[in-house]
Structures are given as structure tokens and as C-alpha cells.
Structure 1
Amino acid sequence: MKTNRKLRFQLFVQNSFFVVLFLVFIFLIGFLSHEYHASRDVTQGSRNTLTEGSVNVLKQMNGPITITAYVTKDESYRKFIHKFVERYQRVKPDIKLEFVNPAEEPKATQDAGVRSEIELVVEFNKRTEHIVPPQAFIEQEMTNLMVRLSRTNQNAIMFLDGHGERSLIGVKNHDIGDFGKHLEKKGFKLANPDLLIAQAVPHNGAMLVIASPQVDVTEIEVKKIKDYLDAGGNLFWLIDDEKNLHGLQPVAEYLGLELTPGMVVDLSAKQYGADAKIAFANQYGVHAITKNFMLRTLFPEARMLTAAGTYDNGWQVSNIVEVAPNGWLETGEINDKVSFDNKKDIPGPINIAVAMERKYGEKGQRVVVVGNGNFLSNTFLGNGGNLDLGLNMVNWLAGDDRLITIQPKPLKDVNVIIPSEGWSNLLAQSVFLGFSRILPVVLVIIGVVIWWRRRKA
């Protein structure tokens, strides 16, 4: 085809127009990528994004967060820190990351109270917390730090002691010491006032915890507990024996609690390989504690309880946990051949926890009573959503409703372990070298051969 000046001009215009459109397209892509961010984490366990619990915590933190990393100029350290913090910045853009070299700014490092070679200082609402590796780069630990900075109620959680209770600082299987450690990580302080010596239950505490006394509480102590409730104090009460409250019957009457004799039997527990005396729950009442809570919880040897709000006591009562929808409350003796008796037993679902609230002066008063203490014990705390439910109850009692959330879960580590010796090691090395060295070379050779043949054709 012959070309002339007119054809060359038309080709020039077409090519120029294409180049302009291409540059505009590139500019638009750059502009959209700068203004709008979209990402998808395809790693197992979503390693590059935050869990739902962490996202909820960040969304509730109103105000900027400053993270100052005190670390040397080692680019590998700084790059790793930046990559970790970037996961939080994608959710909360006003998180600011700064780097300080302790060797170049020793006075600033000393004034900040930094003592480790690598240390992160997180500031929010004029409050600061320090965290060091490896905890500094674990999502659960960093999110727990954020929760502590967010917490508005700094009053101590008080727990009754001296009557064989499940201790918040105990290490035995039936104790709730592991739960106490989680509370401390969330920014709570623990205290156990001696009510035989103290004039009254301290009113500056966040709540009083009564965890299944095994011996009778004295009348003097019971009176002080009632006075504490009468003055607007919050209460978290775990009951394991509905027939014997060990001296706390006046407190139950004050709250309007009704305890039905018997233990919950849940035959569906057998499909999980558990005993029928372990009741499972996945049905929850409408309440701030259980809002959007969809985790399965388990309650060994649970008891039925209800409460009635009246005009006299002013309580607004909510049933929050129902267990054993296909089970029942066994009022007789429990053995291997237990069966439902429609004349004596109560069919499921069985309510085992109530949340109570009423106005008291300028502040509200809150009470949570659970017909089971085992679910928070060191033995069963890690099962299902037991820990999450317990933390939600405590956060609600402390008045930190916005911190009621599903807790961040640890991500699974996926490691490839190569055997150190034998045929297994040789096979593993062969697979590794084959995919990382030989296969790329083979693909390059094949590509060159195909290109050469097409050129000769």
C-alpha cells in the first residue's frame, strides 16, 4: 500500500490520540488508586488484615493515635514495624507512625521512659502505654493495649474472698485466675477487700464479684454487700449451688432472684464428645452484652435462674443466655441412664443468666447473675466463646458498653518443616530445588525455543 502525506498525517493523528488516551487512562488509574483503597487478603488466617474484634475497637476510638517506634536506623526493623502498623492504619487512617533513633536522640528516649532496644510507645487521649517485642507485633497484644487506652472506667474490680470462692488470682482448675489475667490485660485492676475488717464495700470500685462461695458468708459481710447494692454498686455473681447460697439468700431476695432446683441436662453434648451435664448455648437474649454475639458457649453443671423486675425494686431484667434447647432441667438424680420426666423436669431451653439494670441517682446500677461458675474457670475458659462472653459481661458492668466486642483471635502459623536427615530430607530438598531453581530455568528455555521457532517460520 502506497503512503502519501495525507495518510501519514492520519496515522500520526490516530497514534497521537491513542497516546493521549493512554496517558489519561494511566492518570485516572493513579488518581483512583490514591483516593480509593481496596485490598483483599488471600493468606490463610487473614494474616495481612485485622480480625473483627480489632476493627471494632479501632472504630470506637475517637481521636488520633500516635505510635512512636524507638528503634535504630536498621531498615529491616523499620520496614517490619511499618508493615505491622499499616494493618491498623488501613482501618483507622489517623494513626500516625513515627520513628526515633535512641542513639541520635538519647534525651527524648530517656524522657519517654524507653528502656528496651526496640520499644513502641502508643499515645491516645493524652494517655500512653509501652509495648516491646515480641508482644508489640502480635495483634492480640496490640489490640489489648488499644482497649486499655480506650477504657474510661479505671476503678478496680473487687472480688469476695475467704469463703472458698473461685479466685480471680487463683491457679487451681476451679479458680478463675486466667480470666483475671485477661481482665488485667484489658486495663482492669483487681482488689479483694476484707469485708470483716473494712467498714463497707468500697464504693469507688467498678463492681463486686462473688464467685460461688463454698462456706457461709457471715451476716456482717452480707449486710455490707446489701448496703453496697443499696448505694448503687454493681455486682457480678456466679452461682453453682442453687440449693445453698451459703448465707447470700438475703442478697438473692433483694435482687428478686428465683433459683429453680435442678441441673441442666443437654443430650446434644454427646455429639461433641462431652458429658450430658455440659450445656451448650448458641441462643442469646436481646441485650448489649450479647449484641452480635454468635459464638457457641458451654456451661458445665448449669443452674436455672430467673428474676422479676418490680415497681418496688426498679430493676429492668433481661434473660441473656439460654442453654440446652433440646435438653431439660433435671430435678432428680443424674446418672448414666438419665431421662426426661414430664411430671417433674422442665423442658429446654433453660435460662441460666440474667442482666439487671436500674437508675440510681445520676448513674445507673447494673447486676449480672449467672447460674454457673465453671464457664469462666481455668479449665473451661478457653472453650468456644466463654472468654468473650465473660469479658462482655464485665465491660457492660463497668459501663464500657462500646468495648463490648468479639475479642481478636490468634492467627494460625503455617510453617513448612523440612526433615533434617534421611530420605525425607532428600525428597524435601528435591521438591524445593525443583520448584525454586529448576522449573524457572526450564520455563525460560521453553520460551526461548518457541520464540526461535516462530522467528524461523
Structure 2
Amino acid sequence: MKINRKLRLQLLAQNWMFVLVFLALVVMLGYLASQYRWTKDITQANRNILTQGSVNVLKQMEGDINITVYATKDDANSGDTFRKGMLNFVARYQREKKNVFITFVNPSEEPKLAQEAGVVSDGETVVQYNKRSEHINPPFAEQEMTNLLVRLSRTNNQPIMYLDGHGERLLQGLKNHDLGEFGKQLESKGFKFANPDLTIAQDVPANGAMLVIASPQVDVSAVEAKKIKAYIEAGGNVLWLLDDNNLHGLQEVADYLGIKVSPGIVWDRTAEQYNADPKVAFANRYGDHAITRNFMLRTVFPEAHEVDGRASDDLGWKVGRLIDVAQNGWLESDKIPAGAQNPEVRFDHGKDKPGPINIGVALERQYGKKGQRVVVIGNANFLANTFITNGGNLDLGINIINWLAGDDRLITIQPMPLKDININIPSGSIAALIVGYGTQYILPVVILIAGMFLWWKRRKA
């Protein structure tokens, strides 16, 4: 083909058009990359992105988060890369919230600043939000940092009161049936505890966030029951955990709330799929309530009882169903002794109630200028030290406490600590010898032989 002046100009124009379009495409991609961000973490522990619980907490924090790290400068020659690690750690939060700022201060060069901040160790970090601050020390993990942010976000600093002296499950107890591990989680999120003695106190203190009644085992005295009822009548918030329909002196309180508890327990055939006792009820369906909205974790309730709050409507309470269990089970009408092993139980038509069974209700009403909230759960085992780590039990418990405390915006699935999978090879074992000598001697020799073979084969070709 003969190339004349006209064709040459056309080819030149096409080439320049390609260059311009290509440059425009590069500029457009650069602009989109600066405006929008998409990340995919393919690590086993998702160590490069935040869990959904942390993301939800950050979304609820409107102001700036200022993180000041008091650490000496990195020395890569000696393997000290603490500041670089902190930048990478905080970057995960900055990707979700733009106004998270990090500042480094060298205590050796600026000792006065470190002293004024109350810093006593290298690497100590001060996190400030909404004119409140808290210190955190390395090593850093998402669980600890997000819990710190939750504490700084909390607007209600009133203590959680709990009833004691009647065999209750204690929020600071260490026994299997106690709620000590749950209490530790609440403390990590900024809650404090108070233990009023109602035999001495004139009434239940009004400066508490709520009163927790965790399944008394002996009767509450009439004097104490009267004070508890007066506390509720005056607008106090309550979490009441029940192990059976024996209210142990608090029948008058139940009548005031319009609450009834079943004598029999829930029998769940779904438990057999998990090789569990049918007395253990599983839940993955929840009511449309602030506590359980968008909550999709499975929870476990050993020896649960139905809680009926229908009468509460007539008494001026707004009633919300919380937890439905045993879709494939029923509510046993006969009372089964607690701890009974392998009892013979069958569904009796016309006598037993088929599932699903509601085992928790949330009551709410307007009292004066503030709202009043009460949660009644027909099971205390789900928060016990033995079962708190099962499924979403901990998350549900924290959601309940946050709602009762009035911190609705902090109701979220809590972030779980990231775990690594480490392979431990015993020293002196065959596996250790193979890994050690194999990578140090055998593998290089194999690669050398393979390279020489390929070179010889290509030379002959």
C-alpha cells in the first residue's frame, strides 16, 4: 500500500487520538481510585480489615478520634518497627473513618509532653474522643482498641447494680454458674458495678443504670421485694434472669410487670444435630426489637423457660418479643428436675406447646420525662461462665445491657479477637528434620540440578 501525505496524517492523528484516550483513561482511573476504595482481605485471620462490629462502632462516632503514640523512633537495623506497625494498625480504622488521626511523640526528645500525658512506658498510646481520653499499652489488637472506643463513646456512666445474698449468679463470680466472664466483658466496655445491701439500704439507689436480678435460689425477703417493686414503680430499669417459675419472693414484682414463666422447660430436637442434650434450646430467630434487630448469630439456652408478657400490655407496658427457640421442638408441660440426665420426654398433643417458644421479653414505657426499660429472660445459663462463649451469647447479653443503659447506638455485634493458626513442630522430630534440612540443603540442590538439566536440554535442542 502506497503511503502518501494524506494517509500519513491520518495515521498520525489516530496515534495521537490513542495517546489522548489512553491518558484520559489513566487520569480517570486515578481520580476514581482517589475517590473510591475497595479492599479484599484474603488473609486467614482478616488482619488487614476491621470486623463488622468495629465498623459499626466507628459509624456511630461523629467526632475526631486522636491517637497519640509515645514511642521512640524505629530502628530497622535492630528490628524495631513499632511505629510502622502502628501506622498499619491505625490505617484499618482510617479506611472506615476519615477523621482518625495519629501522631507520634518521642518521649526521649520531648519528655515534658510524655510526663504531662501521664505516659510511663515506651509505646504507650493515648486515644482521645469527645473530650475524653484513655491509655492503652502494646501489644495492640482490634478487640482492645474497639472496646476502648466503645468506652469513650459511652454516655451513661451509672453503675450496674446487682442483687446479692440469695444464691444469685454473681456478675463478679468465678464459679461455673456465675456470670463473672460476662461481668469482665462489661467492665472492658466501661461499666462499673454496685452491690447495694437492700436489708440495710433505705431503698434501691436511684443513681444506678439498672438492677440485675440473676436467678435467686432462696426467697427474697418481703422487705427487699417491696424495695425492688418501689424501684420499678419509680422508673428503674431491670434485667431479670429466671431459671424456673419459682420467683422466690418476687411474685408481686412479676404481677406488677405482668410476667408469667412456664413451669416446664423447652425441649429442642435441633440439639440432636449438634450432639447436644435436647434440654439445650438453640435460637437463630429473634423479634423485631432494638436489641435483636439485624442480630443473626446463633445463641444457646440450656434448660430455658417460656416468658409470657401478654398481660403487660394491659398494665401500660409496651412488650417486645426477643428470642424464639426450638422451631423443631416444644414447651414441655411437665416439670423436669434441673440437671436430670436423659429423661424420657415425648411430645403430648393437646398438652405440650409446639415451638417456636419465646423465652425473652423487653418491656418499655414512658415514665415522667424519661423512658423505663425492663428485660426478662427465662434463662440465666446462657450468660453463665460455662456457656458465655457459645455462639452469640455474649453479643446478645451486651446488647441487652446497652439497651437497658440507654446506649442504643452501641448495640452491635462485638468484634472478635483475631486468631492466628500456628504450626508447632516438636524439635528433634522427623518433621523438624525434614523441614530444617530439606529447606536448607535438599531444596537448593534439587533446584540446582533442575536448572542444569534445563540448560543442558536447551543446549542440545
TM-score normalised by the chain length of structure 1: 0.91
Does the Cα contact within 8 Å between 2:263 and 2:334 map onto a contact in 1? Answer: no
Residue 388 of structure 1 is matched in structure 2 by: 395
Alignment-mate amino acid for residue 151 of structure 2: R
Give the distance between the partners of 2:189 and 2:443, measured in 1 at CA.
Answer: 45
- Taking a change above 3 Å as real, the CA distance of residues 435 and 299 of structure 1, as seen in their structure-2 partners, is farther
Matched, 1:337 2:344: yes
- Taking a change above 3 Å as real, the CA distance of residues 388 and 446 of structure 1, as seen in their structure-2 partners, is farther
Does the Cα contact within 8 Å between 1:419 and 1:428 map onto a contact in 2? Answer: no
Does the Cα contact within 8 Å between 2:235 and 2:367 map onto a contact in 1? Answer: yes
Alignment-mate amino acid for residue 154 of structure 2: R
- Cα distance per residue 1:29-61 (max 9 Å; x no partner): 333322222221111132210111111111111
Give the distance between the partners of 1:140 and 1:433, measured in 2 at CA.
Answer: 39
Give the distance between the partners of 2:233 and 2:217, measured in 1 at CA.
Answer: 25
Residue 284 of structure 1 is matched in structure 2 by: 286
Q: Which residue of the other structure, out of 209, 212, 215, is the alignment partner of 1:212?
A: 215
Q: Which residue of the other structure, out of 120, 126, 137, is the alignment partner of 1:115?
A: 120
Task: Report how many aligned residue pairs link the two structures.
Answer: 451
Residue 294 of structure 1 is matched in structure 2 by: 296
Alignment-mate amino acid for residue 115 of structure 1: V
Paired residues for 1:87-236 under 5 Å? 87-134=92-139, 137-236=140-239
Alignment-mate amino acid for residue 298 of structure 1: V
- Taking a change above 3 Å as real, the CA distance of residues 184 and 451 of structure 1, as seen in their structure-2 partners, is farther
Quote how far apart the aligned CAs of 1:318 are: 1.2
Alignment-mate amino acid for residue 235 of structure 2: G
Give the distance between the partners of 1:156 and 1:56, measured in 2 at CA.
Answer: 25
Does the Cα contact within 8 Å between 2:204 and 2:227 map onto a contact in 1? Answer: yes
Quote how far apart the aligned CAs of 1:410 are: 2.1
Secondary structure of the structure 1 residue equivalent to 2:114? helix
Alignment-mate amino acid for residue 234 of structure 2: A
Secondary structure of the structure 2 residue equivalent to 1:411? coil
**20-29 or 418-427: bigger deviation:** 20-29
Give the distance between the partners of 1:54 and 1:271, measured in 2 at CA.
Answer: 32
Give the distance between the partners of 2:95 and 2:7, measured in 1 at CA.
Answer: 53
Give the distance between the partners of 2:37 and 2:449, measured in 1 at CA.
Answer: 38
Matched, 1:247 2:282: no
- Taking a change above 3 Å as real, the CA distance of residues 7 and 259 of structure 1, as seen in their structure-2 partners, is closer
The unaligned stretches of length 5 or more in structure 1 are none
Matched, 1:421 2:428: yes
- Cα distance per residue 1:411-435 (max 9 Å; x no partner): 2312344443243223223664599
Secondary structure of the structure 2 residue equivalent to 1:91? coil
Residue 73 of structure 2 is matched in structure 1 by: 73
Q: Which residue of the other structure, out of 355, 358, 373, is the alignment partner of 1:348?
A: 355
Does the Cα contact within 8 Å between 2:313 and 2:319 map onto a contact in 1? Answer: no
Quote how far apart the aligned CAs of 1:28 are: 3.4
Quote how far apart the aligned CAs of 1:20 are: 5.0
Alignment-mate amino acid for residue 88 of structure 2: K
Residue 376 of structure 1 is matched in structure 2 by: 383
Alignment-mate amino acid for residue 363 of structure 2: M
Alignment-mate amino acid for residue 103 of structure 1: S
Alignment-mate amino acid for residue 411 of structure 1: L
Quote how far apart the aligned CAs of 1:311 are: 6.6
Matched, 1:46 2:46: yes
- Taking a change above 3 Å as real, the CA distance of residues 26 and 346 of structure 1, as seen in their structure-2 partners, is closer
Alignment-mate amino acid for residue 283 of structure 2: A
Alignment-mate amino acid for residue 154 of structure 1: N
Does the Cα contact within 8 Å between 1:266 and 1:324 map onto a contact in 2? Answer: yes
- Cα distance per residue 1:67-111 (max 9 Å; x no partner): 111111116111100000000100001100111111111111111
**301-310 or 176-185: bigger deviation:** 301-310
Does the Cα contact within 8 Å between 1:240 and 1:303 map onto a contact in 2? Answer: yes
Paired residues for 1:355-374 under 5 Å? 355-374=362-381
Secondary structure of the structure 2 residue equivalent to 1:27? helix
Quote how far apart the aligned CAs of 1:235 are: 0.3
TM-score normalised by the chain length of structure 2: 0.90
Secondary structure of the structure 2 residue equivalent to 1:393? helix
Quote how far apart the aligned CAs of 1:350 are: 1.3
Quote how far apart the aligned CAs of 1:308 are: 2.5
**68-77 or 370-379: bigger deviation:** 68-77
The unaligned stretches of length 5 or more in structure 2 are 76-80, 337-341
Residue 339 of structure 2 is matched in structure 1 by: none
Give the distance between the partners of 2:220 and 2:381, measured in 1 at CA.
Answer: 20
**440-449 or 281-290: bigger deviation:** 440-449
Does the Cα contact within 8 Å between 1:160 and 1:208 map onto a contact in 2? Answer: yes
Residue 78 of structure 2 is matched in structure 1 by: none
Quote how far apart the aligned CAs of 1:392 are: 0.7
Quote how far apart the aligned CAs of 1:443 are: 9.4
Give the distance between the partners of 1:177 and 1:430, measured in 2 at CA.
Answer: 49
Does the Cα contact within 8 Å between 2:257 and 2:312 map onto a contact in 1? Answer: no
Quote how far apart the aligned CAs of 1:250 are: 0.6
**275-284 or 7-16: bigger deviation:** 7-16
Does the Cα contact within 8 Å between 1:309 and 1:316 map onto a contact in 2? Answer: no
Matched, 1:37 2:33: no
Instruction: Provide the identity percentage.
Output: 60
Secondary structure of the structure 2 residue equivalent to 1:261? strand
- Cα distance per residue 1:329-376 (max 9 Å; x no partner): 222254532111224322221111100000001110000000111000
Alignment-mate amino acid for residue 112 of structure 1: A
- Taking a change above 3 Å as real, the CA distance of residues 422 and 453 of structure 1, as seen in their structure-2 partners, is same
Q: Which residue of the other structure, out of 87, 100, 117, is the alignment partner of 1:82?
A: 87
Secondary structure of the structure 2 residue equivalent to 1:357? strand
**22-31 or 116-125: bigger deviation:** 22-31
Secondary structure of the structure 2 residue equivalent to 1:289? coil
- Cα distance per residue 1:128-154 (max 9 Å; x no partner): 0110012xx211111111110111111
- Taking a change above 3 Å as real, the CA distance of residues 74 and 453 of structure 1, as seen in their structure-2 partners, is farther
Give the distance between the partners of 1:332 and 1:360, measured in 2 at CA.
Answer: 39
Give the distance between the partners of 2:310 and 2:5, measured in 1 at CA.
Answer: 97
Alignment-mate amino acid for residue 81 of structure 1: M
Does the Cα contact within 8 Å between 2:198 and 2:204 map onto a contact in 1? Answer: yes
